[in-house]
Amino acid sequence: MSILSSKLQMPLLRPDLVQRSRLIDYLNAGLYRKLTLISAPAGFGKTTVASTWIAQSNYPTAWLSLDGRDNDSARFLRYIIAAIQRIDADIGQLASEVLQAGQQSSIEAVLTSLLNEIAVIPDDFWLVLDDYHLLESPEIDDALRFLLEHLPAQMHLVIITREDPQLPLSRLRVRDQLTELRVADLRFTVDEAAEFLNHAMGLTLSAQDIDALEKRTEGWVAGLQLAALSLQGRTDATDFIQAFTGSHRFIVDYLLEEVLHRQSETMREFLLYTSILGQMNGSLCDAVTQRNDSQKVLEVLERSNLFVIALDDERGWYRYHHLFGDALYNALNNEYPEHIPVLHRWASDWYVKQGQLQEAIEHALLANDFKQAADLIETIWPKMDENYQSGQWFEWASRLPEAVVLNHPILCLGYGWVKLLHGDLDMAEIWFQRAERWLDAPSEQHKQMAVIDQRLFEELPASICHARGYRALTMGDIQTAVQFAAQSLRLNRHHDHPNYGRGLVLHGLAQLANGDLIKADQTFSDFTAYMEAAGNIMDATELVFIIGDIRITLGRLHDAYHAYNNAFQFLARQGNPSVIGLEDLYRGIADVYLMRNQLVLAEENLLAAEELGEQGIIRPNWQSRLYATQAQLEIAQGDFATALQLLHEAEQQLVPTPVFLNHSIHALKARVWIRQGKLDVAQRWARQQGLSPDGDITYLREYEYLTFTLLQIALYQAQPSDILRTSTHNLLDRLYATTHDSGRIAHVIEVFILRALMYTAQHEIPLALNALHQALVLAEPESYIRLFVDGGQPIADLLREAEAQVIMPNYVHQLLAAFDAPTPPPPAAQALIDPLSDRELDVLRLLHTDLSGPEIARQLVVSLSTMRTHTRSIYSKLDVNNRRAAVRRAQELALL
């Protein structure tokens, strides 16, 4: 989104303004309070007082002039960040990133990031929101309330508005946190009126006349100003004032008519025609008034204090004072209503020439020029979609008549995507068909079709395929998704187009779901390399954890590690930006360390992942992925109870997305039950999941079937039978065939280990050793360790046998050492050697809630890093390594 810099510019002051020192003093006296509220009707000089005050104070100021479009909360937040960046350009980088995550990030998450970043601004500064009454969104009111509740000490908020904001004003008053300037304060006193009329406006009125004007206008500066303009150059001032004060007519009507009457016809037209513009500069006014001297006119208007406010000293942007602008528009609407659409059309054309499509669209819609509007809305679609602004886009698109949309295939496609992103899968398909209809339409119908960017139309078949593939994957229909993804890529000829990248991701996800891991790895790696080369940080790191997962399964542990290491190095080269998804890199590399049984490294990276994840940046299923990896660390350390609790929570929070987890969570749970000897519970799981010895083994169920086989072996061990032996070997043979043929080496290793376990249960030790040897051969080059250690005592015994027979002695020795490494016994319920401090107990109690890290920090009124220091100290004293385990341990110790 382009930021209009004029919205961030504090209105410029005329040097001859009235000094309202009583108001300035009052405002200065209230500076220690959080909020200054300037609330009064239109035309009472609110903005002028605020900008005079701020200009005199010399505090750094972030100014934001709001307009109706800021009701879109994403846009509102972008502008807040942009305004604050005028003070310090480095602030708000992370918040912008969070905002980029689109629908997935909440307003609070963005504000939390922003507040954390603001904490580093050393000096006091102000954020001013002008024309706050234009915002009607409850979401934004909530955002402001949140901001106010967590306002850093050095930040001061100023709200200028025509109506009181939906904030807890009475509470702020009671707490002495609110300074208010209201209409009674803003009315001009007789002295101020005198100074304004006779000094600023250059009149020479008697005290009596001034008194009469002050009474008639009730100190309303808009009325005083109009009166002064009507009086300039008159010789009969007193008569005029008597007639005016004796009239019941509305002040603006009376005086504006007077002022307009005294302008030349061309000036009058200028004022009326340009009243359709929210803001204006010379060139834009030239376009709307068909003249070529508008810049001069604007300067004259500004000098003579005639309605305009300068917004920007460099580029010459102005706007009408709202009240006068409205009154002028009112007059235009009465005199030349038929001109209004034409004027908007000219404004739209001008903005098109400037490349400012958003403003061009607004004016085209106001001109009821739906053809131009539709063309522009179509042109802007790819960019807005990329920037997660489909909400704003749809707001425009839905103002178009449906007949117009139907003639624009690209708009139909956009409509379909918006429906898809909002989960309305049926309507999405209907719109895709409406787009598609044009592809097969006979050529004589093509005259009715509207297409701006021929290339987008050429890509339409590919784009529709891609959209349908995404839809199918969301519905879990993998086969269809695979077909659409492949077709979309075949059809996509422009490799530099963003659509191609997205098609690639979809293609990879479908390949992955289909079990083509080698191809999926290639697809994602190509995408990542391409995005790295393009310097696109978020895209370049987004898929790395999936690549890592794939390579672990493919038996390429070194390559998995390199994927993460490359990503970290890439980020370092980019100056280590805070990027969404960083937490998944730390979590994913912990998976690699776990496989190598490097538990300390796994634990450190998981702690970092947990902390990053607490910062409110949420990608789908992050929490489930984190819990699942944490659970595997707990399993490695022998704490099965905590592992089961983590897995339970991971399962609770899992939502369906096109990105599947590496291991089914319920299968991980079943493995724990089997190791605990709870075979009946595991059998119930197998029945619920519909697992049977002759069941169909697809890739997505492979891990479940490996687990199921482990259960069968445990059952055979408990009660041997021929049937069970035959069916287990049959399962193992089928698993070997499917894993081996598709190159999923880690799963092949598991199959060999399972075979070794089965033969051990059959007391066929030479066969068991042979199977183990095959596993060792495959596992040794990549140093897989955990897979063996999880096999338990029977595998340890076999390894000792291997050691005796001098089979692969170095590796076997390494594996045996891993078995010997003391796993910390589950802590007994005993008093802590180093007791928790009171503050740590406070933190601990909040860890036992659903609050996120930043929420806890706010509740305790400490910074996030202080809160982390407490958390780390608690973990260390309780001898745990994650939040759930801390809570569990604390419950055992009756600390909660």
Partner 1 sequence: MNEEQGTYTIRIKGHLSEQWATRFEGMTMTFTEEGETHLTGTLADQSALHGLLRTVRDSGLELLAVNRVDGE
Residue type, 652: Q
Considering only residues 305-364, where is the footprint of partner 1 by CB under 8 A?
322-323, 326-327, 330-331, 333-334, 337
**Total of chain residues touching partner 1, rule CB under 8 A:** 25
How far apart are alpha carbons 545 and 584 in whole angstroms?
6
Considering only residues 38-67, where is the footprint of partner 1 by CB under 8 A?
41-43
Residue 838 CB neighbours (<10 A): 6
In angstroms, what is the minimal distance from the CB of 217 to partner 1? 11
**Which run of H or of E encompasses 309?**
strand 308-312
Residue with smaller CB distance to partner 1, 327 or 857 = 327
How far apart are alpha carbons 550 and 749 in whole angstroms?
15
How far apart are alpha carbons 25 and 639 in whole angstroms?
66
In angstroms, what is the minimal distance from the CB of 335 to partner 1? 9
In angstroms, what is the minimal distance from the CB of 9 to partner 1? 23
In angstroms, what is the minimal distance from the CB of 339 to partner 1? 14
Over the window 152 to 191, marking each residue x when it contacts partner 1 by CB under 8 A and - when it does not, the resulting string is ----------xx----------------------------
How far apart are alpha carbons 693 and 431 in whole angstroms?
45
Residue with smaller CB distance to partner 1, 48 or 728 = 48
Considering only residues 234-263, where is the footprint of partner 1 by CB under 8 A?
247-253, 257
* Secondary structure (3-state) at 883: helix
How far apart are alpha carbons 396 and 41 in whole angstroms?
30
Residue with smaller CB distance to partner 1, 257 or 477 = 257
Residue with smaller CB distance to partner 1, 324 or 545 = 324
How far apart are alpha carbons 552 and 600 in whole angstroms?
19
How far apart are alpha carbons 692 and 347 in whole angstroms?
70
Residue with smaller CB distance to partner 1, 326 or 892 = 326
Radius of gyration for the alpha carbons in the chain, expressed in angstroms and rounded:
35
β-strand pairing of 308-312 with 317-320: antiparallel
In angstroms, what is the minimal distance from the CB of 113 to partner 1? 34
Angle in degrees, 0-180, between the axes of helices 339-354 and 370-386, rounded to the nearest 10: 40
Considering only residues 73-112, where is the footprint of partner 1 by CB under 8 A?
none
Partner residues linked to 63 by β-bridges: 128
Residue with smaller CB distance to partner 1, 129 or 789 = 129
In angstroms, what is the minimal distance from the CB of 278 to partner 1? 14
Considering only residues 730-769, where is the footprint of partner 1 by CB under 8 A?
none
Residue with smaller CB distance to partner 1, 206 or 247 = 247
Helix/strand/coil (H/E/C) assignment for every residue in 693-762: CCCCCCHHHHHHHHHHHHHHHHHHHHCCCHHHHHHHHHHHHHHHHHHHHCCCHHHHHHHHHHHHHHHHHC
In angstroms, what is the minimal distance from the CB of 163 to partner 1? 7
Give, in degrees to the nearest 5, the angle at Cα 439 between 433 and 445.
Answer: 105
In angstroms, what is the minimal distance from the CB of 213 to partner 1? 15
How far apart are alpha carbons 461 and 407 in whole angstroms?
16
Distances (CA, A) of 537 to 256, 363, 554: 56, 36, 26
Residue with smaller CB distance to partner 1, 122 or 246 = 246
Residue with smaller CB distance to partner 1, 330 or 770 = 330
Over the window 611 to 630, marking each residue x when it contacts partner 1 by CB under 8 A and - when it does not, the resulting string is --------------------
Residue with smaller CB distance to partner 1, 146 or 336 = 336
Residue with smaller CB distance to partner 1, 16 or 163 = 163
In angstroms, what is the minimal distance from the CB of 330 to partner 1? 6
How far apart are alpha carbons 668 and 632 in whole angstroms?
8
Over the window 193 to 222, marking each residue x when it contacts partner 1 by CB under 8 A and - when it does not, the resulting string is ---------------------------x-x
Q: Are 610 and 626 in contact (CB under 8 A)?
A: yes
* Nearest C-alpha neighbor of 331 from the set 386, 406, 227, 252: 252
The residue count of the chain comes to: 896
Considering only residues 110-139, where is the footprint of partner 1 by CB under 8 A?
133
In angstroms, what is the minimal distance from the CB of 300 to partner 1? 25
Residues lying near partner 1 in the complex (CB under 8 A): 41-43, 133, 162-163, 220, 222, 247-253, 257, 322-323, 326-327, 330-331, 333-334, 337
